[in-house]
Every structure is written in C-alpha cells, then in structure tokens.
C-alpha cells in the first residue's frame, strides 16, 4: 500500500507539472511587467493570485510561512507544493525559494528512502517542478539573466542528460549579465562544460570557447574589486572572484597549456598592467600552467615586482629567470629577495640558495661570499661551512701554486669541514666523508721536510682563498 501511494503521488506530481506547463503556455497567469529582464527590478501583478480557492490558499500559506520561518523546509514542502500548483504568485518566495525547498525535500528523500526513491522523484516530477520555479520567477518577477544562471546550474546537476541545454542557458545568462554576473556563475558554467567534455559530448575547442567567454568577466571583476581603497564588502567580492579563477584553473588544468593561457591573458595586459591584483592572479594562472620562464610570465612578474616589491615576488622571478637560462637576472633577483626578506630564516635560505647556485656555475669566490652572509645570520650553519670547504676543494687546481701545491688548498678545505662538524652535529656524516676524502690529498711528509717545514706550522693559501691554515702531512 505504501509503494502504491508513492506511485500515486508521483503520478499526481507529473500530471500537475504537465497541466501547469499547459496553463503557463496558455497564459492563464496574466502578468504585467515593466523592464526588460536584464537584472532590473520588475513590477508585476498576477491576476487572481490567491487561485480558485482563496480560503485553502490562505490556510496553506499560513502553514508554509510558519515552517519556512522556522527553517523546517521539509515540513513546509507540502504546503509550498499546494501554493506552487494553485497560487504561485501569492508570495515571491514561492518561486524565489521553491528550488531550495525542493532540494531540501530531495535530500530528505535520499536520506530516509534511499537513492532509488530520490532518482524516481527527480524523474517523475520534482526536477521539472524545480525548473518551472525558475521559469515562473522570470515570468512574474524578471531578473532573467540571474535566474537563468541558477536554472542552468540546477539543470546541469539534477538532469545531466539535459546538460547541453543547460550550457546553452548558461550562455544566454552570460550574454545578458556580462560583467555583472555573480562570482560563482563562471565556475558553475565551466564545471558543467568540463562534465560534458568528460563524457565526450563537448569538444575541447568548445570548452575553450566557454573559457574565452568567462575569462574577460573574471579579469574585469578581479580588477574592479581588488583596487586600493575599496570597502570591506567589495574586497570580499574580490577575494571570491580570485577564488573563482583558482577553481576554474584547477578544473581545466589537465587541458591547459602555456600557449592557450597566454592567448587568454595577454590581450588584457596593457589595460591591467597597473593592477597588482590582476597581475598576481595572472602570474598564478601561468605558474599553474607550467609557464614559469616563458616571456609573458616574466613580463607580468617583473611588472608586478615594480608595483609591489616583495621578497616572495623577487624569489619567483629569480626561479623563473633561472629556468629561462638567464643566470645574471636570476642572481640579481635572489639578492633583491634577500634584501627585502624580513624573516632572518628566509634571508638565510636565500643566501644558501645563492651559494649553491654559484657552486654549480663554478663561481667559487661567490660561494664563499654568500655562505659568509648566511653565517652572519646563523653562525652555527654546518651547511654554509661545507659549501665554503667545497669551493676551496674545487679550486685546488687553480689555487695550488703555493709551496705545498694542491695539498695546501685541501688543508684549508678540511678546516672548513671540521668547523662544520663542530658547529652542527647534524651534518657530521657528510662532513666526515669529505674530511676523509680530502685528507688523503694532504702534502706528503717528505715534501714538507724538504721545504724546511713541519707539521703544526702556519701556512698561507694564496689565490682568491687568502686563508691561513696549519700544516698536516701524510705518508712515511
């Protein structure tokens, strides 16, 4: 009996939907409107808004409003349902909030009766009833662009087989609203497009056309709502628009490449090159697309650094120029990053990075210069001392012209490894390995003897090193 009752209710819902659609098309509800449905307020009047039975309408309206105010939307549903079918314009919230109430009802059905019952109610009336709420809201109260954007999102999610229709409706809403659309519309639009592409019902080219459609709107609103001097309310909008862009980037990341991203963003550069927020979001977009080191990425990043110099911006540029192969510019931005860093740890890390980079490029005097800057911040850095030792050891050939030759340079290098081990036990293993390796290259005892020297004497290493060390010889 319960099952038959459910089927009966579904049939009634479907019958009512079909009947109501016919009534709507026949113009049973006379609507007087002013305005063009482009988002402006529309004054409306609805003939016989209490329906054929005003007493029953008032009774259902009273119960609906009571439950609605208490946020008991599932309990409000049957009263809302009567009003929607018999007096849909008795209050704005009947069509305005109808979709929300239906979704609450569907969620309750899914929870209490299961997915099968949920799907059955969608297929047998409730989804179409929800869509009709949007249709009648536009008919009675206008706001076509805004409502169609919501309608399209609901259709895409509740009726996936009608997603192509939903995308067409998103396009209509986008055309009507332009830059005035709400921040979540582009995200919902692209989400639906990606879903359609994944089931092979939308080409990649069409997906990019949709991205082309929403990108200027996102750029406009990021620019508009992130300018200095905005109210807190507008600044929140800016944050939401940036979040929308990030969300779209994540959805489209599998399909985007640098060429496409540059094609999307470069036309807006001249107009936005004075807007730090636009530049930040563009750099982030290009970075996520793997465009670090590309010409347009560097152009935007340098312009952003000009407007808002910061250690993080300089670091991003340093890495980008390094990737592009411009070591000189990379180093200059690393130094700027260190100068602008307010956190000593960050400044230390940058100098260590510079020392390592210089080691890789065989600029050994620079290795020591940057390592010493790091030691000025943290005198107990074993890493910094090891880097200096490595620079000395690597210079043995070019700086081994003294009396003890290369062996004298290795003495100075091992001094640094010993110092590293003493100040920082965490790198003792690495330091000991290097000590063992380079100690085997120390001067021979016979060479020291014939030079009229002995272990323990001071020895000056020349060249760029300019260090004084203590002689330790090896061999019989």
Interval 231-258: pLDDT, tens: 999 999 999 999 998 899 889 888 878 8
Q: How far is CA 350 from CA 222, 307, 372, in A?
A: 32, 22, 12
Q: Are 341 and 311 in contact (CB under 8 A)?
A: yes
What is the predicted pLDDT for the residue at 46? Answer: 67
The model's pTM is 0.53
> Rounded CA gap, 195 and 430, in Å?
52
Residue 443 is classified by DSSP as P
Phi-psi bin for 41: left (phi > 0), alpha (psi -120 to 50), beta?
A: beta
pLDDT bracket for residue 468 (50, 70, 90): very high
Residue with tokens 């020349």: 462
| Cβ within 8 Å of residue 280, ≥6 positions away | 304
What is the predicted pLDDT for the residue at 258? Answer: 84
Q: Which residues is 142 bridged to in the sheet?
A: 41
> Rounded CA gap, 18 and 52, in Å?
19
Mean pLDDT, residues 361-367: 93
Give which of 106, 68, 60, 107 is closest to 84, Cα–Cα: 60
pLDDT bracket for residue 5 (50, 70, 90): very low
Q: Is 384 exposed, middle or buried (0-12, 13-18, 19+ CB in 10 A)?
A: buried
Backbone φ, ψ for residue 47 (5° rounding): -60, 135
> Rounded CA gap, 173 and 146, in Å?
7
Q: Are 65 and 80 in contact (CB under 8 A)?
A: no
Q: Which residues is 384 bridged to in the sheet?
A: none
Mean pLDDT, residues 311-324: 86
């Amino acid at each position: 009996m319960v099952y038959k009752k459910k089927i009966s209710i579904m049939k009634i819902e479907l019958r009512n939907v079909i009947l109501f659609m016919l009534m709507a098309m026949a113009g049973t509800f006379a609507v007087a409107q002013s305005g063009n449905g482009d988002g402006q307020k529309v004054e409306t009047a609805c003939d016989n808004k209490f329906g054929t039975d005003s007493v029953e309408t008032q009774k259902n309206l009273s119960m609906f409003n009571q439950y609605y105010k208490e946020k008991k939307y599932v309990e409000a549903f049957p009263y809302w349902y009567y009003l929607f079918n018999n007096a849909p314009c008795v209050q704005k919230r009947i069509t305005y909030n109808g979709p929300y109430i239906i979704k609450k009802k569907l969620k309750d059905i899914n929870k209490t009766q299961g997915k099968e019952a949920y799907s059955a109610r969608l297929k047998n009336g409730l989804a179409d009833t929800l869509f009709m709420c949007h249709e009648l809201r536009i008919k009675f109260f206008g706001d076509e662009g805004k409502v169609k954007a919501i309608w399209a999102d609901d259709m895409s999610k509740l009726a996936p087989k009608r997603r192509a229709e939903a995308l067409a409706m998103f396009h209509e809403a986008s055309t009507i609203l332009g830059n005035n659309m709400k921040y979540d519309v582009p995200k919902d639009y692209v989400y639906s497009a990606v879903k359609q592409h994944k089931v092979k019902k939308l080409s990649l080219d069409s997906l990019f056309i949709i991205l082309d459609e929403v990108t200027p709107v996102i750029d406009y609103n990021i620019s508009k709502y992130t300018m200095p001097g905005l109210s807190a309310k507008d600044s929140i909008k800016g944050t939401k628009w940036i979040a929308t862009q990030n969300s779209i980037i994540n959805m489209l990341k599998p399909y985007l490449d640098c060429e496409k991203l540059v094609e999307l963003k470069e036309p807006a550069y001249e107009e936005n090159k004075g807007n730090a927020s636009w530049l930040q979001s563009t750099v982030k977009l290009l970075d996520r697309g793997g465009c670090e080191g590309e010409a347009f990425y560097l152009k935007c990043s340098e312009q952003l650094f000009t407007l808002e110099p910061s250690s993080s911006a300089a670091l991003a540029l340093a890495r980008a120029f390094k990737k592009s192969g411009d070591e000189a510019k990379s180093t200059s931005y690393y130094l700027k990053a260190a100068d602008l860093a307010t956190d000593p740890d960050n400044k230390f890390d940058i100098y260590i990075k510079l020392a390592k980079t210089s080691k890789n490029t065989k600029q050994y005097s620079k290795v020591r210069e940057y390592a010493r800057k790091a030691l000025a911040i943290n005198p107990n850095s074993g890493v910094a001392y090891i880097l200096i030792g490595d620079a000395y050891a690597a210079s043995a050939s070019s700086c081994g012209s003294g009396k003890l030759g290369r062996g004298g340079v290795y003495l100075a290098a091992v001094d640094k490894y010993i110092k590293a081990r003493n100040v920082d036990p965490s790198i003792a293993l690495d330091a000991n390995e290097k000590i063992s390796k380079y100690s085997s290259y120390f001067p021979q005892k016979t060479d020291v003897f014939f030079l009229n020297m002995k272990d323990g004497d001071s020895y000056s290493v020349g060249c760029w090193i300019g260090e004084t060390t203590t002689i330790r010889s090896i061999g019989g």
